[in-house]
Amino acid sequence: MRPADDWPPRFSWDAVRVPVHLAWAGLNEPAVEAAAKFYFDPSHPYRPPAWVDLYRNTIAPYPGHAGITAVAQLAARRSGVNAPYRHIPVADAPDYYGASLIIIAGLAGAEQPEAPALVPQPPPRSSQQNAGAVRTVLRYLGFGAGQPAPPAQVAGLSPLARLGGRNGSR
């Protein structure tokens, strides 16, 4: 991968949401830690820097605004990077995008990452429960009260016709 040809080769506004979404999802990705280390690198005169040029390895000559600071703090907290923390009010944002970054970083930081969803397994059924379920299905298919259908009757029907009764009608 490489930056787009018609775009400045920077990690900045365009990509600043990536560490937010990775952290919010609870993914311990190297990108979250790398972002935190970049933002709080003690060699930077401005922390966090507003951007880095990916080709020249140069940083902005000015600090990032409050929204970028909120993202940097979230990345540091979620990745275990030691960094200063302060509450950032939305009112500190210079614009809509900065306010949005503060809000989503705050939400992401407030929520605990969830474990992946597990598909619940049904409890084991007894043979008596299974027999009752089979009888219910056979009755629904029109084969009498608990009387198993002869295989010839069932074999001649399509699965869809079986749902409608013996002759396929409802």
- Tell me the one-letter amino acid at 94: P
Give the model's pLDDT for residue 151. 53
Does residue 154 have a pLDDT over 70? no
% the chain with pLDDT above 90: 36
Q: Which residues contact 125 (CB under 8 A, 6 or more apart)?
A: 133
Q: pLDDT by residue (tens digit) across 120-146? A: 666 666 666 666 666 666 666 666 654
HSE-up of 74 (CA within 13 Å, CB side)? Answer: 33
Structure tokens, 117: 């969803």
Tell me which residue has tokens 């401005």: 46
Instruction: For residues 49 and 135, give the distance between their C-alpha atoms in angstroms, rounded to a whole number.
Output: 70
Does residue 108 have a pLDDT over 60? yes
